[in-house]
Amino acid sequence: MKVLDRYSRQIPVIGEEGQRRIRETSVAVFGVGGLGSLVARYVVGGGFRRVVLVDFDAVSVSDLHRQILYTTEDVGRPKAEAAAKALRAVNPEVEVVPVDEPISPDLAEGVLKEVDIAVDALDNWAARHVVNAAAVRRGRVLVHGAVQEWYGHVTTVVPRATPCLEDLFGRFKSLPTCTAGFCPVLGPAVGVVSSLMALEVFNAALGKPALAGRLLVVDLKHMAFDVLEVARNPSCPVCGV
């Protein structure tokens, strides 16, 4: 198969220069659950250079209604490994690196040292804030998304230029994790939010993240989309001046 065949529907949209930029960009997806599955699927399909998948969880049967990389046969397998196998089959031209380890400041920094763009597709605020702090320290663009019930939001953190997650969601650090049964959700709502995140990864790789400094909030029960302009807090302990 020729390279141009694989990307022939995409290149007319972003141009050959755009495709070249994507091919030179590496991405770390933190959390390969509902959001991370589809983000990774589109990023790998789109031909990014290298995609690192960070997840310490195993596939469970309750994941399958929304986590599109996995099948019933994967139940019990580590998500990072199962996702990497599925994604390599989608596009063997992309280097897919599974990291089956829990999120820690050292892990997040180590992963981000080697990539250009970070994706926060995690399922708990404590870990999201660890990745946020590492992204700010490393100066990496962070595409953040979250989803629950019929609702979700997406924003892009450009360190030192836009609000970081501490600015916007610092008060949520101690909320319960989703693994404690905190986050009921509809599968298609996850699909919408993760698609928006994947688009923003493309935008960021092409140099124009559309949600930098903006918080997109989606209400899929009423099909209401709202964009909020958000502002930095100069005394933010994570990204403040």
Token digits for 85?
């196998």
Minimum Å gap between C-beta 117 and other proteins is: 17
Is the CB of 161 or the CB of 228 nearer to other proteins? 228
Is the CB of 31 or the CB of 209 nearer to other proteins? 31
Q: Within 10 A of 95 (CB to CB), how many other CB atoms are there?
A: 13
Minimum Å gap between C-beta 153 and other proteins is: 6
Is the CB of 72 or the CB of 174 nearer to other proteins? 174
- Interaction site with other proteins (CB under 8 A): 31, 33-36, 121-125, 145-153, 163, 167-172, 174-175, 178, 182-183, 185, 190, 193, 215, 217, 219, 221-222, 224, 226, 228-231, 233, 235-236
Sequence-distant (6+) residues with CB within 8 A of 130 are 103, 104, 105, 108
Minimum Å gap between C-beta 9 and other proteins is: 28
Comparing C-alpha atoms, which of 226, 207, 206, 208 is closest to residue 217? 226
Is the CB of 11 or the CB of 136 nearer to other proteins? 136
Minimum Å gap between C-beta 152 and other proteins is: 5
Alpha carbon separation from 124 to 30, 82, 231 (Å, rounded): 11, 21, 23
Minimum Å gap between C-beta 169 and other proteins is: 6
How many Å apart are CA 32 and CA 81, to the nearest integer?
A: 10
How many Å apart are CA 118 and CA 143, to the nearest integer?
A: 6
Comparing C-alpha atoms, which of 231, 122, 237, 117 is closest to residue 168? 231
Is the CB of 10 or the CB of 60 nearer to other proteins? 60
